[in-house]
Amino acid sequence: MQPVAILAAGMVTSVGSDAPSSCAAMRCAIDNFSDTRFIDNHGEWIVGSQVQLEQPWRGSKRLVHMVVPAIRECLASVPNVKSETIPVLLCVAEKDRPGRVRDLDTQIFEELQSELGIRFHSGSSLVALGRIGGAIALDMARKMTQQKRLPLCLIAGVDSFLVGETLKAYEAKQRLLTSRNSNGFIPGEAGAAVLVGPPESAEDSILVCVGIGLGHEKATIDSEEPLRADGLAQAIRSAFVDSQARYEDVHYRLSSANGEQYWFKEAALALTRTMRVRKQQFHLWHVADCIGETGAAAVPCALGVALAATRKSYAPGPGVLCQFGNDGGERIAMVLKEH
């Protein structure tokens, strides 16, 4: 594939109102987990990772006010580029997510442009794929910037699991972290964005995506089939083929793992099935450690963390293997390298 570079990042998370503060907090393993206004089935407060906004907005307005500052942060890095030339790929929750904002697909994009006071390129679109949306959007952005010769593309993601119906559904499946269930995730929310474009347009240290691979896992988290990590292993192999890289070229991993045992077991199995070299260390980074499960915002947040680690020289090395998956079984792996 033709490489595509991550040029800038923006974030609004529970631990920071912008990318530098959020990344600094996550580097120090600082979280902001606290009791929410929701109660579980045993009458105890549900712990979550809440974003502090100026007003207690709800629904699509809350999502818009979480992602708008992140988009502005990215656009500030290219002040001389007109927004009409930049398509936005906005990643949101899956259409079958319990508690999803009603009419999200028809409302949020217009509300977003209205709040920003600008218009984006006509090629902008929604990517309603939840946790893997940002990775799929990166592949879409690569094709758009090359085939349509657009200078830049903006990938934004926003999501919130702090919704009563959403929490109720995941608790019923025993997937929510509560005092009675240790094998679950902490619900969170966030808005994040990354600006991508050709590597030659960068003026600073950047990360370049040099390979993407897809896979599908039959033994999903809700399945009773034995997990062999076939889907993630396939995605990793495909990403290495696409990038012409090997395990020797990557130095740590970035994952959408959210705290549930399933995702860590899958990562370990995929590693044993694909890696044939010895590594003294091969750390697995996951932003959910500090900001909880953020769904469609997870990939843009993770890419922003990787960019900060590269620019501030605290990454274990210049290469990173990204691996993301959603509940439906879709798996995607990417190889990023410092440029």
Q: Specify the CATH architecture of the domain 208-338.
A: 3-Layer(aba) Sandwich (3.40)
DSSP element (H, E) containing 97: none
Across the range 116-133, mean pLDDT stands at: 95
**150: pLDDT confidence band, cut at 50, 70 and 90?**
confident
Q: Looking at the predicted structure, is the pLDDT value of residue 149 above 80? A: no
Lowest mean pLDDT segment, chosen from 107-111, 118-122, 146-150, 241-245: 146-150
pLDDT digits (tens, 9 = 90+) for 242-295: 999 999 999 999 999 999 999 999 999 999 999 999 999 999 999 999 999 999
Alpha-carbon distance values, 266 to 72, 234, 281 (Å): 36, 12, 18
pLDDT at res. 201 = 67
pLDDT at res. 146 = 80
Across the range 37-46, mean pLDDT stands at: 94
Q: Looking at the predicted structure, is the pLDDT value of residue 324 above 90? A: yes
Across the range 165-176, mean pLDDT stands at: 96
pLDDT at res. 147 = 73
Alpha-carbon distance values, 81 to 77, 113, 125, 193 (Å): 9, 17, 20, 17
Average pLDDT score, the chain: 95
Across the range 32-60, mean pLDDT stands at: 95
Across the range 42-49, mean pLDDT stands at: 96
pLDDT at res. 202 = 66
* Domain 4-201 grouped into CATH 3.40.190.10: no
Residue-wise DSSP of 209-273: EEEEEEEE-SS-TT--SPP--HHHHHHHHHHHHHHT--GGG--EEEE---S-HHHHHHHHHHHHH
At residue 154, φ and ψ (nearest 5 deg) are -110, 125
pLDDT at res. 2 = 81
pLDDT at res. 144 = 87
At residue 305, φ and ψ (nearest 5 deg) are -65, -45
CATH 3.40.47.10, the chain: domain bounds: 4-201, 208-338
pLDDT at res. 13 = 98
Across the range 200-208, mean pLDDT stands at: 77
The single residue listed with the structure tokens 């590594």 is 279
DSSP element (H, E) containing 123: none
176 and 166 in contact (C-beta within 8 Å)?
no
